[in-house]
Structure 1
């Protein structure tokens, strides 16, 4: 055992000595591995961070949320946009009442309006809905309050605003109790909503004004009585999501008098569907970036192989002398493999440091929770070792197979 340790130590010292004699060459070779390892590590960290960020944004939609939207039906194989089916407040009430696995249902009207307060003027999304909307979205007022239930039946001209609207319209002023003009109508701000940030599709959830659905229909979004643009639902549990979707589909088909075999005139989208779609997109992007990073790692490995081949050619006489005094082929092979692995490990270690700094900067810039995990560091170092072994084998084998007599005869 001690003999093996002495041999390993000797090989390590020889490898270090060879690298020290060619510092610039070693540094340039290690740089190729550095770039590859850093790229792979950063891509992995970005993938994990993006997945966590997207998951958080999807969760911000609410708890066990489902969305029902109208869907064009096909007439003779062509979409008939003039006959867009309609959802109603009655549909929402029926779903909340009849679907066993639906906890709440909130009808929604959506639009875009100009807001004016004093000399400030901003354009923002307007939403008309019920108090169930806030319960489903887990959205509370950070100042002021939501409207009273009675406001939904009398059409009070009151609204609550998101944090972005508050910043752009009021600046540092207290918005509670202020009267703003939305379109051509005065509204009193009664509440400021907690900040939610970006939604799953990059939209600013805080850039919105929300009011009772009856008020919005009367003042900002004239539609037929009871008609809404979408219905936001909350399933009772995550496990019952599939059952809730089946129940919603059956109830709406019955209410819309759809014949058996007819296409649905609505579409149901769940948080899980959003999650699957986003993960699929992220997965493709992650694989593409990993492929690019892997190419840079292979290029770095080829650099190691080329430099080691040059080193073998320059040290032919040294190899011949070592063989002449008793070194075996295996000893020569191990020595050059060790040099290749050390080059790769130095590059890999520097690459992980660079990746850590880059990921920290990206996390701060993107405001994502991400970092370089211990597993990622171990994988990076393991990958470096593998690159050193794989791309160092050919030079090491060529050195080990030299004829000592011919090697000694070379200048």
Structure 2
């Protein structure tokens, strides 16, 4: 018997038991779809995280007070960074281009009965260039605003729309912590960063923030939430981190553990990439269990099929079919089930990834490696789990089989 005839007989047999064949393929379909979807969504999450960090500004470093261990031990953020540290970094570190110190606090902003609780950022004129923000209307904070502790504010685009609706906000007065602030500008749209809408923030001079909103919290000067630093270029990032570390250790007279943490975009992306890779592999492994279950289902159904078709096997052997012919037919049936299930599962997985890309901000995409791996594994599973039933059918004694006729 040639391969073509074996394939035709296998297809005819599977068509005769459509419901059973469909249920047998279900495990393979779910496994393939889940593997492709999980890998595609995982890679999309990585690309989304990378784009989010790139939006923070090119070649940016972030200096935060305390160590991760210290911040975990207490709910209060350590007050170890002050404005003078930021000024020292700007003037004494040659690999640094600009420095933007920041103080952040949630406060209520009010305008004519409309109010909302948003992030208030006290900063300096260098903030837009360091963090890649632009002003869409009006102007940003000036050096004179900082020196004179002026009560001026720049609104994020969404915050301006929420408070002023169709009015022009520039020149109007809003209230922050029961103090009146003049709106001098509106920022261009920036988008969300890891779930936080950067367009709903308000920006005021750092000195005004310290003296009027948060108050003096450190005996050594104006304490900061963190410091954003832009290196001169990508090649200067590591050197800038090293030089800033040495400068702050000297200024803080540190001889043991640092009381600050410096993190670069590259390090943050690496951490997120490692986490997302681990989660993707874990989810893909869990999804792969469905492929294993599907393979066991194929073997189970094929064993049942051998039992049901004992007479057919006996008759075929009696008229000249060899063990190889019987083995080939049952192996082909198992491979058709797994291959067809793999193709359907691949289609569902690709469709799921495309749906995620349309409905969410994740830049999900279909990974060719994942498709090849899922289809290859499903085909291999059909081949592997089809061996036992096929061998059992091929070794069946025709005399014993014909006795049941």
Judge same fold: TM > 0.5, yes or no: yes
Looking at structure 2, the residues matched to 83 and 24 of structure 1 have their Cα atoms a distance apart, in angstroms, of 62
* Contact 1:72–1:83 (CA under 8 A) maintained in structure 2: no
Q: Establish whether residue 186 from structure 1 lines up as the match of residue 197 from structure 2.
A: no
Aligned residue for 1:227?
223
Looking at structure 2, the residues matched to 174 and 376 of structure 1 have their Cα atoms a distance apart, in angstroms, of 51
1:211 to 178, 190, 204: 204
Aligned residue for 2:34?
39
Q: State the secondary structure of the residue aligned to 1:107.
A: strand
Q: Establish whether residue 242 from structure 1 lines up as the match of residue 243 from structure 2.
A: no
- Bigger mean CA deviation after superposition, 149-158 or 62-71: 149-158
Q: State the secondary structure of the residue aligned to 1:285.
A: helix
2:249 to 234, 253, 265: 253
Q: State the secondary structure of the residue aligned to 1:189.
A: strand
* Contact 1:128–1:216 (CA under 8 A) maintained in structure 2: yes
Aligned residue for 1:168?
162
- Bigger mean CA deviation after superposition, 28-37 or 322-331: 322-331
Aligned residue for 2:19?
24
Q: Report how far residue 272 of structure 1 moved.
A: 2.1
Q: How is 1:35-114 mapped onto 2 (pairs within 5 angstroms)?
A: 35-71=30-66, 84-114=78-108
- CA gap of 1:221–1:394, structure 2 versus 1, over 3 A, is same
1:117 to 111, 115, 123: 111
Structure 2: runs of 5 or more not aligned: none
* Contact 2:156–2:186 (CA under 8 A) maintained in structure 1: yes
- CA gap of 1:403–1:252, structure 2 versus 1, over 3 A, is same
Looking at structure 1, the residues matched to 90 and 251 of structure 2 have their Cα atoms a distance apart, in angstroms, of 14
Runs of 4+ aligned residues of structure 1 deviating over 6 Å after TM superposition are: 72-75, 78-83
Q: Report how far residue 80 of structure 1 moved.
A: 9.5
Q: Report how far residue 81 of structure 1 moved.
A: 9.4
- CA gap of 1:256–1:83, structure 2 versus 1, over 3 A, is farther
Cα deviation 1:288-327 (Å, max 9, x = unaligned): 2122211222111111111111111111222223333333
Aligned residue for 1:3?
none
Count of residues paired in the alignment: 401
Looking at structure 1, the residues matched to 265 and 368 of structure 2 have their Cα atoms a distance apart, in angstroms, of 31
- Bigger mean CA deviation after superposition, 372-381 or 230-239: 372-381
Q: Establish whether residue 8 from structure 1 lines up as the match of residue 42 from structure 2.
A: no
Q: Report how far residue 127 of structure 1 moved.
A: 0.7
Q: State the secondary structure of the residue aligned to 2:56.
A: coil
2:326 to 321, 328, 332: 332
- CA gap of 1:19–1:45, structure 2 versus 1, over 3 A, is same
- Bigger mean CA deviation after superposition, 181-190 or 305-314: 181-190
Looking at structure 2, the residues matched to 354 and 172 of structure 1 have their Cα atoms a distance apart, in angstroms, of 45
Cα deviation 1:65-112 (Å, max 9, x = unaligned): 11112217999xx97999945322221122122222222111111112
Looking at structure 2, the residues matched to 38 and 27 of structure 1 have their Cα atoms a distance apart, in angstroms, of 16
Q: How is 1:255-294 mapped onto 2 (pairs within 5 angstroms)?
A: 255-259=251-255, 262-294=256-288
Cα deviation 1:186-238 (Å, max 9, x = unaligned): 122222223233323x3222221112212222221222544323211112233
* TM-score for the superposition, normalised by structure 2: 0.91
Q: State the secondary structure of the residue aligned to 2:193.
A: coil
* Contact 1:72–1:80 (CA under 8 A) maintained in structure 2: no
Q: How is 1:323-402 mapped onto 2 (pairs within 5 angstroms)?
A: 323-402=317-396
Q: Report how far residue 156 of structure 1 moved.
A: 2.6
Aligned residue for 2:293?
299
* TM-score for the superposition, normalised by structure 1: 0.90
Cα deviation 1:350-397 (Å, max 9, x = unaligned): 212222332232223322221324443333322221121122111112
- Cα RMSD of the aligned pairs, angstroms, is 2.5
Q: Report how far residue 121 of structure 1 moved.
A: 1.0
Q: State the secondary structure of the residue aligned to 2:261.
A: strand
* Contact 2:79–2:223 (CA under 8 A) maintained in structure 1: no
Q: How is 1:399-410 mapped onto 2 (pairs within 5 angstroms)?
A: 399-410=393-404
Q: Report how far residue 125 of structure 1 moved.
A: 0.8
